[in-house]
Structure formats: C-alpha cells, structure tokens
Amino acid sequence: MKSVLEKSRHIEGEFGANLVHYAARNGDVNILNFLIIKCGLNPLLRSTDNGYLPAHEAASFGKIEAFIWLLKMTNSSLMDRDYYGHTYLHIAAR
C-alpha cells in the first residue's frame, strides 16, 4: 500500500490536476483529509492548464464543505486567483 501511495504523489491528469483536485471536485472531505494528511499530497499544487488550486475545483463544482475545509487547511485567501485572474467567487458564479 505504501508504494501505491508514494506513486500517487506523482499522478497527474491531462491538465496537470492531481488526486487532490479530483477529490475536491467530488467534495469528499474524508478523501481530501486522507490524501493531504495521511498521504502528504500537496493541496496547493496548481493545475497546469488554468492554475486551479484544489479549492478552485471545489468552488467550480459547488462543493461548499470541501471548499471551506480546503481554505482552512491551507490557510488560503478568498482572493487567491487562477492563471486568468479569477477568484473563487468568479469561478463559483459560473
């Protein structure tokens, strides 16, 4: 199991999203907690295509609980922006 978790640190999707991004899209705080706390994955890694943090993904998919958890976990600002200058509010409003 440990080697699988170690390899998962380096798994990226087509646009540079990692497992934390995908968990944020689904809004499962338990999985986010597991990936970040237990596995040590980086919750501040940006996707390569649009610069989304996992919290941007949660905002984009309307996953409020996951969004708030990620903000608290990372001590992020509500003014964090993606590569296009969009804040969480801009993204959530789409």
pLDDT in tens, 11-26: 555 666 889 999 999 9
pTM of the predicted structure, to 2 decimals: 0.84
What are the pLDDT digits (tens) for 45-83? 999 889 999 999 999 999 999 999 999 999 999 999 999
Determine the pLDDT at residue 48: 86
- pLDDT at residue 94, as a whole number: 84
Range of the domain at 65: 2-93
Cβ atoms of 86 and 78 closer than 8 Å:
no
The number of domains in the chain is: 1
Mean pLDDT of the chain: 88
Residue 24 burial by CB count (10 A; 0-12/13-18/19+): exposed, middle or buried? Answer: buried
Which residue in the block uniquely carries the two structure tokens 């970040």? 36
